Structure 1
Amino acid sequence: MSNEKEQAVTAEMLANQQLLQTEEITLSDDIIVSFLEENPEFFNRQPQLVTSLRLHDNQRGTVSLVERQQQQLRQKVHGLEEEITQLMAIANQNEQLFALYSDLYLRLLDCHSADELLDCLYQATTELLSLSDFKLWLNQPVTLAHSCLIDKDCGGVLQNRLTKDEYYFGRIQQSEQELVFSEQCEGSVVLIKLVHHQQVIGFLAISSKDAEHFDPRMDTLLLSQFRKLVAKLLYQHLFVA
């Protein structure tokens, strides 16, 4: 019985071995990729493949492996050139914006009254920055009369949009638009909370006709300096005897 079992096992092993030898192995993309990654010298051992392999190209028909590599490198270089161009344009825009803000700060510091200060802010917003409108809401009454001052109660806007944040970027409801700008705004707005000595004194509202201009992803570095200076100057001109 023991010999018969051994013979049966041996016969089965031989049958399996023959089956493995005759069975075709299906090569998948993953198997080929793994082989090439584990054997980086493959094309060095088979240099004729580099030029003899022909790859399908939607625009050029068939190309060699070398031509495909060159094409991919050109595309990569072109993409990097476009990215560098965009970065240079952004850097140039930021430089111009920084220069504009620096000049505006000096002009604001030279203002001798709140009325002159608001004139300067309105001009900078609508003329230099080419934005639509500039408004200021103060949470306590003042004797100043200026076209930029909001005379309606916008406490609800302050609470809804700026309770937890220093800025609000995007669109506001029609009812809020009518309170802040006295009309509908087709584009986007930014609301900037004004705080001095840890006391909220109101907010600035600036509108743009471009619906994408004021975006929540905007950088607030320059705006942070701007809002602190404006809050300080408004407080000095309006609330300090």
Structure 2
Amino acid sequence: MKHDYTDSLKALSTDIVKEYLLENSDFFIRHPELLLSLRIPHTERGTVSLIEHQQQNLRARVAQLEEEITSLLSVASRNEDIYRFYNQLFFDLLETDSLEEVNRVLVDSFKRRFRFAKVRLAVTDSGGQFDQPELNLILRRRLNEEGYYLGRLPAQEQNPLVAQENGSVALVCIGDRGTPVALLAIASNDPSHFSPDMDTMMLDQIRQLLAYKIPQLRHG
């Protein structure tokens, strides 16, 4: 009799067992003794009970969530630091009295906070042209519709801008693209630091301030 019963159990397909358990989700609640007798293969511990397996999965999930929370807190802290930096830079620029001081504040602040290789503010003449003809060509060729270029440049274009041939750059057009007030060029030795998908929200604020401040200082 027992042999026939075992054969009948073996005849049950996996799909039938799975379907039954799905339709009877309280099965193990009604038969808790089975939880301790069920054994599940484990790569390190041989076989473990279903309860032990669930506990291990829960511990692993908790550890994963803790890592995600730690990562989110780290990102939030970094974003707050960046916000504070730009907020201070904004007020420092408001207090400047000359183009030379504007340039000094930009260079000192960006280099001190982010350790950029080069920071340069190139101001145009009253007709929106740069002293270096190469800059006029680079801006017409590289700037996007928002007035930015973020990424890598060929050495022949990057060198006139920031006096280096490698890394990546951020080009920020100050004022209208057709008649720019100035160009802010920031260079990093890291080729991947600046990329086209970067957020420019904080740079937008500095850009607007410079577009207002530079003409006043230039004609003051």
TM-score between the two structures when normalised by the length of structure 2: 0.82
Q: Distance in 2 between matches of 1:167 and 1:65?
A: 57
In the alignment, is residue 97 of structure 1 matched against residue 82 of structure 2?
yes
Q: Is the 8 A contact 2:38 2:49 kept in 1?
A: yes
Matched with 1:191 is 171
2:151 matches 1:175: no
CA distance in 1, matches of 2:144, 2:25: 60
Gaps of 5+ in 1: 1-20, 143-148
| Structure-2 change in CA distance of 1:27 and 1:139 (3 Å) | same
Tell me the amino acid that sits aligned with residue 45 of structure 1.
R
- Spell out the pairing of 1:144-163 with structure 2 (5 A cutoff): 151-163=132-144
> Once superposed, what is the RMSD of the aligned Cα atoms?
2.7
Check the 8 A contact 1:133/1:208 in 2, yes or no.
yes
Contact 2:154 2:165 in 1 (8 A): no
Alignment: residue pair count: 209
8 Å Cα contact 2:41-2:47 kept in structure 1: yes
Amino acid of the structure 2 residue aligned with 1:174:
A
Large movers: runs of 4+ above 6 Å: none
User: Which residue number in structure 1 is paired with residue 72 of structure 2?
Assistant: 87
Q: 2:14 maps to which residue?
A: 27
Q: Could you say which structure has the larger radius of gyration?
A: 1
Query: Alpha-carbon deviations, 1:30-61, whole Å to 9, x = none?
Result: x6544433321122233222111111111222
- TM-score, with length taken from structure 1: 0.76
Aligned equivalents of 1:93, 1:165: Cα separation in 2:
26
| 182 and 198 in structure 1: CA distance in 2 versus 1, 3 angstrom threshold | closer
Equivalent residue letter for 1:180: L
Instruction: Map Cα deviations across residues 172-194 of structure 1 (whole Å, 9 max, x no partner).
Output: 12221122123312x22212122
> Is 2:107 the partner of 1:122?
yes
- Flag the 1:49–1:107 CA change in 2: closer, same or farther, 3 A: same
Letter in 1 for 2:215: Y
The CA distance in 2 between the partners of 1:26 and 1:57, in whole Å, is 24
Say whether the 8 Å CA contact 1:192–1:203 is kept in structure 2: yes
